């Protein structure tokens, strides 16, 4: 784990614990790394409820409730699918917050429209869905780690209501 991720995790740990709030994850391109990061610190069981690793579109549809129309019209790597994944895991677990990641980690699978390093992250709370598109550089490990760091930072930003807490 990178030092940048460790700093964000400590802040998230303190914030979620103090607020007595919970989080869950729906992961595609990160394949479990986001959930692993969130459980890195002792006491994370107070706020981390669980997650779904949804690599296959069928799992996205059947378990998370992603609409087939979204997958067909926009593709698995899209704002629509990221949003529906996060909303689905929040509904499934009953968490206060949910994060999703979907992207092209590489080295294959990219296209002109969605090259390797294209990632969508969504964070959902009771007020709505917040999504962000990333264009990450590097190989598969870099894309996956960068996605985790961005997702955790995005959650921290939403938790702090835009207030700088690092």
| pLDDT tens per residue across span 6-21 | 999 999 999 999 999 9
Evaluate if residue 162 carries a pLDDT over 70.
no
Could you read off the pLDDT of 31-60 as tens digits, one per residue?
Answer: 999 999 999 999 999 999 999 999 999 999
Task: Tell me how long the chain is.
Answer: 166
Please report whether residue 56 resides in a domain: yes
Please report whether residue 164 resides in a domain: no
Residue range 18-32: mean pLDDT, rounded: 97
The domain spanning residue 145 has which CATH number?
Answer: 3.90.950.20
Total-model pTM: 0.95
Work out how many domains the chain is built from and give that number.
1
For 53, the domain range is 3-159
b/e per residue 71-94 (b: at least 16 CB within 10 A): beeebbbbbbbbbbbbbbbbebbe
Please report whether residue 18 resides in a domain: yes
Please report whether residue 132 resides in a domain: yes
Give Cα separations from 138 to 33, 48, 146, 152 (angstroms).
17, 29, 9, 19
DSSP conformation class of 32: T
Residues 6 or more apart whose Cβ sits within 8 Å of residue 49: 22, 23, 24, 93, 94, 95
Please report whether residue 165 resides in a domain: no
Mean pLDDT, the chain, rounded, equals 95
Residues 6 or more apart whose Cβ sits within 8 Å of residue 121: 82, 99, 100, 101, 131, 132, 134, 147, 150, 151, 154
State the pLDDT confidence band at 2, using cuts at 50, 70 and 90: confident
Please report whether residue 59 resides in a domain: yes
Please report whether residue 10 resides in a domain: yes
Please report whether residue 166 resides in a domain: no
SS3 119: strand
């Amino acid at each position: 784990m990178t030092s940048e991720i460790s700093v964000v995790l400590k802040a998230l740990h303190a914030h979620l614990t103090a607020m007595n709030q919970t989080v869950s994850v729906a992961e595609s391109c990160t394949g479990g790394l986001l959930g692993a990061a969130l459980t890195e610190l002792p006491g994370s069981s107070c706020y981390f409820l669980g997650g779904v690793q949804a690599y296959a579109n069928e799992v996205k549809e059947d378990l998370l409730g992603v609409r087939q129309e979204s997958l067909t019209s926009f593709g698995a790597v899209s704002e629509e699918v990221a949003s529906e994944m996060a909303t689905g895991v929040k509904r499934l677990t009953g968490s206060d917050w949910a994060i999703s990641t979907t992207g092209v980690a590489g080295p294959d699978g990219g296209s002109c429209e969605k090259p390797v390093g294209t990632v969508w992250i969504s964070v959902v709370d009771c007020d709505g869905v917040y999504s962000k598109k990333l264009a990450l550089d590097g190989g598969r490990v870099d894309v996956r780690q960068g996605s985790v760091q961005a997702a955790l930072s995005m959650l921290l930003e939403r938790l702090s209501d835009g207030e700088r807490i690092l």
